[in-house]
Structure 1
Amino acid sequence: MTLPRIAVDAMGGDEGVQVMIDGAALARRRHDRFNFLLVGDQPRIEAALVAHPNLRAASEILHAEDVVSGEEKPTQALRRAKTTSMGLAIEAVKRGDAGAAVSAGNTGALMAMAKMALRTMPGIDRPALAALLPTLGDNDLVMLDLGANTDCDARNLVQFAIMGAAYSRIVTGLESPRVRLLNIGTEEMKGTGALREAAAELKAADKSLALSFDGFTEADKISRGDVDVVVTDGFSGNIALKAVEGAARFVADLLKRSFASSLRSKVGFLISRPATELLKHHLDPNNHNGAVFLGLNGVVVKSHGSANAAGVANAVAVTARLLEENLTERITADLAKVGAEVIRKPARARAAAAAEAGQ
């Protein structure tokens, strides 16, 4: 089955056009049903395509005169949405010329442009950035929000949980993903009022949704494998994500230094190489590349700016799977199950209304 075209912002990312084209070509070799709209400077894209005739045959080029820089403020980028490769890739999704968009460019600008062009789904107040993280369990972990919203209320967190569970079912195949809220402790009285309200909402709605709400989790336990979806605000989520990535780099660098410290260590490395290669693969962010903006009327995927060709290919594969599994329709169905009353009115407000009605 041929999927809708994927619009690729060929100019985004730290490494530029060549890596984005190499990544799209790798994805195309792995899955010949992928077709692309490559957006950016046409002469540079055509030059990069010379080495990839298979991708060239499955692609159309949309010329863009301008590029969003990594330092550009979202408000500045929005003014140039009609001329930049990022803005035109998202606009292609809005027009129906592509089914989804992938960019490795400025995250804030991508979020702003996507929200402005595609708008949020009915029943969703704010889109959230979700990504997959490795765990010790059988499946990767979905974590959101990772930076799109620094300040969230209980209603936002409940909506994030519903969207995250829908995404988890697609990427893990689980019928009822285990969902937890990130907190400073697992006891019910811990955390902010918004966290406690969101927990009450999710407990009340648990039986109506295809998820299993298990209360709170702490940051040091998110990779143990006993939870499938971790929900938090974008401020805490971004800090937690970077702490996990930093710890992974620390472990990798420490092992590298240890194995190079002596002849005995070098011999030990040769003996343990299969295990260290497995560890390297597990910790490599390119193997989990592709964060998704959930809650929009369209699929937009953010590739890490420093991703290599394999990482870009993984981001494209994530995008294609979300199209194939109808992510937006799944989220819409879950929102309908829980009902607008649960996701739009905080627990405190409902409790106050109930108390008033009982007087």
Structure 2
Amino acid sequence: MRRLRWLPLLFTPLLLSGCPFVELPEPLPLGPGTVQFNNTDVTLAAGMAELQPAPVDTLSSSVNLGRLNVSGLQRVYELETPANTDFSFTVVARGGGNIGATRLSLAHAASNGLTPQAGVETIAAEGMVLEGAGMSNRGDWLDVTGDGFARVTVRGNISADQVLVVQVPRNNTTIDIGVRIRIGNPSAINLVGGGASSARPGMVSQTIYSSDSWQFGLPSLAVSGDRVSVAAYDGDPTQQSYTSRRRQWLQHDSATGAVTGGNATCNSGDTGFWRDQEIAAQGNVLAVAYTGDGNVRMDISLDRGATFPIQQVVTNGSFFGQRLVQAAIGNDTPTTRRRATVLRRPLQCTTWAATSLPC
């Protein structure tokens, strides 16, 4: 059961950049089958700080890599954390030109010097939580797949040394990376408030919707007064098609506790686990922007989501691969017309696409 929680006091913006007004090749569904991956490199980071690999590999000889069909490690990271203390770091694999099918895979290689006797579920059993889009279980490996980049965050707190292996395909080769998390002193991965619970002072949490569909998730949130509006994806848990999903809208009234919402069939199939709908709110104005069928469209409500009388196609065309980055409503701009003062709220929708042209 996957659940959607609203977090009214904390929203962290994600800023993406790319080359505007160019075209992607036909995206892959990233489902079962043979895929040519376009990874160029992989990076580990804690917060905004890039983590550096160890100058000498002292890890390979101490773990059973053969169980994972890994012949050797091309890179090793030595991380450190006090026992039972929250830590967090992120692994990102990027595709060439920020386009194409990308994938990284994680495996649990050792716990307290011993080889795990089960699959990737032993990662959670040892106190670590994996967060990311496009995750799937492959026995001893957890695959994280994306379009342009693939990312997973490892959070938790542990009581014994742990070893993870990260595997990233690169055309006809593979990079295998060892990550040892030792019990020791505080380090860069011990981010303040960045552990497994993700809790912040004064933050409250409430489940407003849940779904058994594997397509559920990738929410976009906006707050206006006592209303929290959410745009997410959902689907039929009995359907395995990568093109069958729906857009789900929810609104939570913190004053009454009421949750209202609706849904509609998505005009486009999933393309690499990109979120292609965004939501913005200010005052009574609520705007939902989304892509599909070669269009970028914005629906605007003047009564906080009760109705959407304004429907504007921002861009249109037959090309494939628009990427919706952000929708935003600017501050009120007072404009005087005769004796009436009108508040004008500029709306902005940022999109990009990609092609073989260099960025």
- Name the structure where helix makes up a greater proportion of residues: 1
Fold conserved between structures, TM > 0.5: no
- Name the structure where strand makes up a greater proportion of residues: 2
TM-score, normalised with respect to structure 1:
0.28
TM-score, normalised with respect to structure 2:
0.28
Q: Highest relative contact order (Cα 8 Å, sep 6+), 1 or 2?
A: 1
